[in-house]
Amino acid sequence: MKQAVYLDYAATTPMNKAVIEEMNRIMLDYFGNPSSIHQFGRKSHFELEEARSVIANSINAKSDEIIFHSGGTEGDNTILLGVARALKEKGQHIITTNVEHSAVLKPLAILEKEGFEITYLPVDESGGITLEQVESVVREDTILVSVMYGNNEVGSINPIADIGEYLADKQALFHTDAVQAFGTEVIDVRKLNVDYLTVSAHKIYGPKGVGFSYLSSNVLAPILIVGGDQEEKKRGGTENLAGICGLAKAVDLLKPEEKEQAKADYKIYQDIILRELEDAGIDHQVNGGLEYKLAHILNLWIKGIDNQILLSRLDMSGFAVSTGSACSSGTVRASRVLQAMYGEDSLAPAQSIRISFGQGLTCDTIQTFASNLVEQILAIGNK
């Protein structure tokens, strides 16, 4: 049987071999608790702080503005729940979008039950929002704005820097979930004017179960996990040193020039697929469009084709794609992002697939996939 081809990098990425080697180095030689004051602890603490410095430098932050945790979900939960509850006396209004990741929407639902008012900005068919939408709903009692950098299903990029600049002299603090965007976008937290930012290692060829948050030194540091005084008393629990060092290695490997080269490659892959569909006369549409989007995500509405049938046929042919977010415990449900973009009555959620690119792919591989995609669509019966 030929080797299967993975085209679901937006769900998770395979670990880079250099990351695995770095984690092995730490697990073999640095077992000491980073909080211990003896030499074993000090050695581990040095590695921990080196990792923190690498990550801080990658986004133009200070080392003490980086907090390690278990991933994007914990980071989002900590910031949203912690900030809202800490600032409750200053206001109870929060702004977000209706296409955020569940790691943002679910803690906001908890806050709604606690009495907070949440404004969910609607997206248009591009899958994003505008600065003007934010400006129109900010109030004196707005304490927090949370807008994802790039959407995990259709790839739409939001005007984070513009929103950050607008909010700079407002009471409201600004958070962006950059989990999906960090792997391809060059991020500078100073230029973005964000107060909080979250990233997860497993989206950038690092290990699962570890991530980091940027917490600006100019604003309050929210706390969710309490226990010991680790992470400058901002996140209790003995640090996952091997995972953190693996994360730092993954970040270090994603130099700006590497990100730009990857984006150029992914644009070529995208063009190959679209050309094959057009040449075959396949009725299709790119969800979210092709402008101002994350380069590694291509979400396609194949008109008249059941996406579950298409996904299964592609899987049996050796190609792994998805129908959307992978955070639903393996369940199949209509994409709420596409529903938000087109309306609940649209056929798009049931007829769309998400193809996402990453390291290790080639033009030849993508060409083979594109040909197979057309073959499967025609076999099902696209008109």
Percent of the chain with pLDDT over 70: 97
- Cα(301)–Cα(128) distance, integer angstroms: 18
Does residue 277 share a domain with residue 172?
no
> In the predicted model, is pLDDT for residue 329 greater than 50?
no
For the cut 90, the answer to whether the pLDDT of residue 128 exceeds it is yes
Q: Take residue 211 and report the two structure tokens written for it.
A: 């991530």
Residue 364: CATH number of its domain: 3.90.1150.10
CB 247 within 8 A of CB 202: no
Instruction: Please state at what angle helix 363-380 crosses helix 256-279, rounded to 10 degrees.
Output: 30
Give CA–CA dist 323/350, Å, rounded: 8
Q: Which of 203, 225, 253 is the last residue in one of the domains?
A: 253
Q: Which residue matches tokens 């790691």? A: 103
What was the pLDDT predicted at 1? 45
Q: Which pLDDT does position 327 carry in this prediction?
A: 55
pLDDT at 291: 87
Q: Residue 335 belongs to what domain range?
A: 5-14+256-380
Q: Which CATH number does the domain housing residue 207 bear?
A: 3.40.640.10
Q: How far apart are CA 310 and CA 258, in angstroms?
A: 33
Q: In what order do the strands lie in the sheet with 66-69?
A: 66-69, 211-215, 196-200, 173-177, 142-146, 93-97, 117-121
pTM of the model: 0.95
Question: Rounded to an integer, what distance in angstroms lies between the CA atom of residue 357 and that of residue 376?
Answer: 20
Measured between alpha carbons, how far is 6 from 289 in angstroms, rounded to an integer? 23
Does 355 share its domain with 308?
A: yes
DSSP 338-352: HHHHH-TT-SHHHHE
- Containing 94, the helix (H) or strand (E) segment is strand 93-97
> How many domains does the chain divide into?
2
The residues annotated with a catalytic role in the active site are 327
Kindly report, residue by residue over 35-92, the tens digit of the pLDDT.
Answer: 999 999 999 999 999 999 999 999 999 999 999 999 999 999 999 999 999 999 999 9
Residue 249 has pLDDT above 90, yes or no: yes
- 273 and 298 belong to one structural domain: yes
Are 259 and 185 in contact, with CB atoms under 8 Å apart? yes
Do 172 and 221 fall within a single domain? yes
